[in-house]
Amino acid sequence: MVKYSLIPCGEKEVESTFYYTEQIEEINTLEKGMHSKKRKLSKRKIVDELKEAGKILDVNLRYRQKYKILIQLLAWREVPILKSHTPRQICEEALNSNLKLDLTQETEGYENVKYGEMLAAEEAEQVMNLHLNQILGSKG
């Protein structure tokens, strides 16, 4: 909540209040135990989405889109992710999964970008690209 005073020309001071509204993004995950044919179709779709995300010029939007794709890939690799999981819980699930991926840097970068605290760090995006390629290349 932000309060500020506005003084219109020749009038007395008026106090106004603004409220912050958070945008909620739903990230569709693949259900565990899907048939391998569906997994292959999903992998192709994910690869196409990753190519499109790389073309986004806005660094924050590109980072958020790649984070979404990272979550989809984790679900594709059968990391148990629920819709109710926070980014930090997803990070813990990835670390405890058979992938043993430490997504701390990507998670912190995502939270910073989502809440407008800073621009996406180039280093965090490079680490995310490394993990995306690692997940994609490790399962056909």
pLDDT at site 45? 85
- Counting Cβ atoms within 10 Å, is residue 107 exposed (0-12), middle (13-18) or buried (19+)? buried
**What's the whole-model pTM score?**
0.65
Mean pLDDT by 10-residue block, N- to C-terminus, for the chain (140 residues)?
Answer: 47 52 58 46 80 90 91 88 92 92 90 77 82 78
- pLDDT given at position 19: 55
Q: How many CB atoms lie within 10 A of CB 27?
A: 15
